[in-house]
Chains A and B, each alone.
Chain A
């Protein structure tokens, strides 16, 4: 059976080497029509990418703008941008857990603990605020590591471990807040400034946009050059320029909106730093590759010599860390640590933001940038409904429905992707 195949597998002549691009592979043609074809093909294969979110965001914005012309005002957009950072930071953390195909239900409670720790240490005990913040973030990491230990080492389901954590840590928060219930935070302090400080100089926002666009272009350009030098397929320079152009439109657009109000918010800057940092960690380092591998196949990862337990514990510690950071922004926003912090719909919003952004609940698929898009959707809905004076019960129901819709899209695209061989 294999004899006729031997003829063309002569070892002396591996000359019929793989051409740079296999002829059977559907390659994108040059030019705009090529882009369009590739785009349609990806849609059919269920590779929706960020498209549903972007469309959703446009729809949401136009509906709310139609209902209330203040929705797209610079001030409102600014408030949305600053408010979304708390939820967004937590979503960044939970995306790590979702990439493993697991869930962390405790992020809301952990964020409450973090706010309470800072308030108690710095206000009640008069500790240096920087130190208090460090302790709060470290506590978040430790709490996450504890969850990770019970999940990875003991083998308890992450769902059950973090559900216990949800109750335990909200009890812990109430305990350390004590009888007072609410501790006000100095809004001129470190935590207070997190959401109230603006770089009022116009140059700050534009400068950041310019740096981001420039760094992206230089990075892509040299990557492309290096790929060419190594003889592997590379992005044509036209595409690099096009992508940079699109990024520039969004970056400078956002900067213009910020500058119309008070300037670049510190919170947004920190959020962007977190996004860039975690994206780098996930896509460019060995650690990130291991996280994706675990999300794809635990057995394959184990055989490849990856320390499954270590990665899992680290990932939960990262989720706890970002939950704590989110809690600081939350405390900053309401200028207090109170008993309702981390409760209500916060956890749902965090998960919804991650999933709406395009992170799969099934593991192995997603990017931390998903948190940005997802949290924009969630926060826009909240602000829009609040502008209309729609009460909390309805808000909850709408957020719940949006989350369900997203999960449905995730499940359906996963099926389509399986049949199209892309999952």
Chain B
């Protein structure tokens, strides 16, 4: 990983009134890498994601995009940089078909009129490259299963060819088979060179697809682990704070030193 990270957070802090939600958070993510963001409830995962997505502007610290500092103050800034966020509530319109949802807000036009044929063709192409299987692109979202909806939502985020995709608890509400579909999709995103931030509560999911795990605890970094070299117990103890020991401190520091 010699190239500059796609996204780097340097000492990011965020306050809400009297609550210090994030304190000096460091995070780096490279192209073609899946970083899992884990932590207990209230650890600041969602807040961190929202600062990256531009929902909550940061108070202190620097956000670097491909090595250069950027300011992200509104969702549009993040989108323009190439950051796509798939929130837990998928934000799909139940009454509109798959094609319509994929292109919602960026419809293709031909002589001022919606180009349904071209949108349908591109939708099929996109779903095919991501190996997403849904019965038909012309049925309303309401007819799809939870996993299919999740994959549609993720596919939608891919339309703008983002460099960084943030997935907020993509498997939280899904069954075994559907979870597998979504995890497959995450791996495909990595293979295509996208950087992925994956928020998850499920250690099995994290171990299955993530390259590195960043642990947040009470709004602070509590270690960054290489998944291949770390046991599930180590990660969990970092989440719960059971081991606030030298090893995790050093891991966090070496991550810092690299910048």
Contacts and interface: CB of A to CB of B under 8 A. Distances in A.
Same assembly: yes
Interface of A: 1-3, 5-6, 9, 11, 14, 16-18, 21-22, 24-25, 223, 226-227, 230-233, 284-286, 289, 292-293, 295-297, 299-301, 303-306, 363-365, 417-418, 421-423
B112 A9 contact: no
Nearest to A280: B113
Interface of B: 75-76, 87, 89-96, 100, 104-107, 109, 112-114, 117-118, 120-121, 124, 127-129, 131-136, 138-140, 142-144, 176, 179-181, 183-184, 187-188, 191-192, 204, 208-209
Nearest to B89: A299
Contacts of A299: 89, 91
A422 B131 contact: no
A46 B129 CA distance: 34
Contact of B208 (A1, A295, A306, A364): A1
A284 B116 CA distance: 8
B93 A232 contact: no
B89 A22 contact: no
Determine which residue in B91, B127, B129 has the highest number of CB atoms from chain A within 10 A of its CB, and name it. B91
A289 B106 CA distance: 11
Contact of B105 (A9, A17, A292, A304): A304
A284 B191 CA distance: 37
B105 A306 contact: yes
Given A5-B180, A284-B113, A423-B142, A293 B104 contact: yes
Given A9-B187, A227-B117, A285-B112, A2 B208 contact: yes
Contacts of B131: 9, 14, 16
8 contacts: A2-B187, A6-B184, A22-B136, A230-B121, A286-B114, A293-B104, A305-B105, A423-B140
Contacts of A300: 90-93, 104
Given A230-B120, A421-B143, A285 B93 contact: no
A421 B148 CA distance: 13
Contacts of A289: 96, 100, 104, 107, 114
A293 B109 CA distance: 17
A364 B95 contact: yes
Given A14-B128, A230-B120, 20 more contacts: A2-B179, A2-B184, A6-B187, A17-B128, A18-B127, A22-B133, A22-B136, A227-B117, A227-B120, A230-B117, A232-B120, A292-B95, A293-B104, A297-B92, A300-B92, A303-B75, A304-B105, A417-B142, A418-B142, A423-B142
B115 to A, nearest CB: 10
Contacts of A304: 91, 104-106
B252 to A, nearest CB: 29
A220 to B, nearest CB: 13
B135 A24 contact: yes
A286 B135 contact: no
Nearest to A365: B95
B209 A2 contact: yes
Contacts of B89: 299
A153 B168 CA distance: 31
Contacts of A301: 93, 104-105
A48 to B, nearest CB: 15
A227 B124 CA distance: 13
Contacts of B192: 11
A162 to B, nearest CB: 23
B107 A422 contact: no
A230 B93 contact: no
A285 B110 CA distance: 10
B170 to A, nearest CB: 13
Contacts of B124: 18, 232
Contact of B118 (A2, A230, A295, A422): A230
A346 B31 CA distance: 63
A231 B208 contact: no
Contacts of A5: 180-181, 183-184
A13 to B, nearest CB: 9
A96 to B, nearest CB: 15
A363 B118 CA distance: 27
A59 B129 CA distance: 52
Contacts of B183: 1-2, 5
A296 B91 CA distance: 10
A295 B89 CA distance: 17
